[in-house]
Amino acid sequence: MDKDLQGKTALVTGAASGIGRAVALLYGQHGAKVMVSDIDEEQGRQVVAKLKAAGAEARFFKADVGDPAQCYRLVQETVAAFGTLDMACNNAGITGELSRTADYSLDGWQRIINVNLNSVFFCLKYELEVMLKQGAGSIINMSSILGQVGTPTLAGYVTAKHGVIGLTQTAAQEYAAEGIRINAVGPGYIDTPLLKDFSAETKQALVALHPIGRLGRAEEVAELVIWLSSNKASFVTGSYYPVDGGYLAR
Ligand code: NAP
């Protein structure tokens, strides 16, 4: 494995499971020191143990990304532990309520926007403060194919993921000249615990929406995140990259 991220530091939210876990593990394989963050402490600590067993330096910090104070402390803890913050993947997210727009509860709406959109702003804000002082950094915000198109019963999720792309494009322009790159990634349906409430029938119907003929794997998303994080993507900023088995090409 190419240790092209040796000596660099990375922060990943939602890193106890699915895509975030795969991103954290791949950062480690590329030589980075990794701050694993999640609300699930037990699973998060297992990811740290796996990283350490593979020879990487890693820590866990429990943070609910829906709370700006916890996002602030997460960034501070990362810098205190590793000295810098070179790369961040703002990945934590939930599906939220499944209902048509008129039936969507007010509480459910506030919650999905807070966990999937406000959280990205909170993390980005505090990560940028550190990266501006360093004069360098690379941030990847986890959007979705549903950051580009709508789908019934997921109004809150779709709105939040569209917002993540707009936020990414805006911040990328603001900080491009100061050495900070900011990009968004848009996975198609990936077989992770996020889909645990979907029936086998629904999953089969989702497969049919991907010309490649299957759901994605978390590791396939992680490969894109690591590339965007690295200097190999030195001219890439403000972009939205789908990794979706052809979903958006239909
Ligand atoms: P996942 O397997 O459910 O992992 C998400 C992790 O984030 C879980 O450990 C979860 O903890 C944690 N989390 C939830 N709320 C949090 C909060 N408020 N603060 C901190 N951590 C929190 O999901 P995934 O499929 O890897 O999804 C990761 C990201 O990719 C999400 O932003 C999702 O929207 C996006 N995405 C996923 C897919 C897909 O098909 N899987 C497609 C497109 C985009 P708990 O398990 O305790 O809730």
Set out the domains of the chain in order of their start, with CATH numbers.
9-243 (3.40.50.720)
- Tell whether the model's pLDDT for residue 1 goes beyond 80: no
- Tell whether the model's pLDDT for residue 115 goes beyond 90: yes
> CB atoms < 10 A from the CB of 163, how many?
18
Q: What proportion of the chain, given as a percentage, has pLDDT over 70?
A: 100
**Interhelix angle for 218-229 vs 18-29, to 10°?**
50
- Tell whether the model's pLDDT for residue 58 goes beyond 80: yes
Q: Is 141 in the pocket of ligand 1 (CB under 6 A)?
A: no
> CB atoms < 10 A from the CB of 247, how many?
22
Q: Is 17 in the pocket of ligand 1 (CB under 6 A)?
A: yes
Q: Is 115 in the pocket of ligand 1 (CB under 6 A)?
A: yes
3-19 confidence digits (pLDDT tens): 999 999 999 999 999 99
Confidence band (pLDDT; 50, 70, 90) for 198?
Answer: confident
User: Closest Cα partner for 157 from 194, 183, 126, 191?
Assistant: 194
Strand partners, 88: 11, 139
pLDDT, position 92: 98
Mean pLDDT across the chain, nearest whole number?
98
Residue 15 sits at the vertex; the CA angle it makes with 10 and 19, to the nearest 5 degrees, is 105
Q: Which of 194, 219, 248 to mutate to test the pocket of ligand 1 (most atoms within 8 A of CB)?
A: 194
Whole-number Å distance between alpha carbons of 97 and 111: 9
> Which of residues 200 and 1 earns the better pLDDT score?
200
Query: How many Å lie between the centroid of ligand 1 and the Cα of residue 233?
Result: 25
Do 96 and 150 form a contact (C-beta atoms < 8 A)? Answer: no
Confidence band (pLDDT; 50, 70, 90) for 197?
Answer: confident
- Tell whether the model's pLDDT for residue 215 goes beyond 90: yes
- Tell whether the model's pLDDT for residue 250 goes beyond 80: yes
Non-local CB neighbours of 145 within 8 Å, separated by 6+ positions: 186, 187, 188, 189, 242, 244, 247, 248
pLDDT, position 30: 98
Catalytic residues: 157
Whole-number Å distance between alpha carbons of 38 and 139: 18
- CA 115, distance to chain mean position in Å, is 12
**Average pLDDT for 65-89:** 98
